Amino acid sequence: MPKPIVIWPDKVLSTRTRRVAAFGAALDPLLEEMMESVRAAEGIGIAANQIGVPLAVAWVGREDGTFFEIVNPSVLEKSEPVSLEEGCLSVPHEWEQTPRFGKVRVRYQDRTGAEHELSAEGRLAHVLQHEIDHLEGTTFVEHLSQLKRGLIRKRMQKLQKDRSTEHVHGDDCDHD
């Protein structure tokens, strides 16, 4: 069973993740768990804190459906402000126009600790901004107006409540 995705607002999503110091095999189980969860949810990226692990590790989906891992990433440069429709596995069923940048230059490490720099644009730039935001403790709804964020918070609370009710119901009843 893939680990469930944490739903916003949750403290682990609004807390900056810790930098990774131990590379190599130490990261493999976490990366595997995250991959299971992002595939099960059919996402195009996932940050470790979305499965409750407060470490600076994320998977970033490429246009061709493959993923690469980013560890301890930072955005070095961003340019060309744009507004893009955005959603998040931690904020199910919500899609909103979100202010982003069309181009970014990022620095990150891979699972072995090797350093990389990458210039990206388009969808890849978008996913990178979204995942690096997560690792810094920011969910995309933080970029929206207070009004929109408030409405989304209410819907997420209802969704959480419905899910926990379903769970109790499922435990108590026989069903086919």
Interface ranges with Zn ion (CB under 5 A) = 88
Nearer to Zn ion, 88 or 132 (CB): 88
The encoded tokens of residue 96 equal 């909103």
Q: Among residues 69, 86, 94, 131, which one is catalytic?
A: 131
CA–CA dist 53, 34 (Å, integer): 10
Instruction: Name which of 122, 130, 73 is nearest 98 in CA terms.
Output: 130
Q: Across 89-152, where does the E strand assignment appear?
A: 91-109, 115-121
CA–CA dist 78, 103 (Å, integer): 6
How near is the Cβ of 90 to Zn ion at its closest, in Å? 5
CA–CA dist 122, 10 (Å, integer): 29
How near is the Cβ of 172 to Zn ion at its closest, in Å? 33
How near is the Cβ of 137 to Zn ion at its closest, in Å? 12
Beta bridge partners of 57: 71
131 catalytically annotated? yes
Nearer to Zn ion, 84 or 88 (CB): 88
Nearer to Zn ion, 7 or 88 (CB): 88
CA–CA dist 147, 149 (Å, integer): 5
CA–CA dist 106, 92 (Å, integer): 27
How near is the Cβ of 91 to Zn ion at its closest, in Å? 7
The encoded tokens of residue 152 equal 């989304």
The catalytic residue positions are: 131
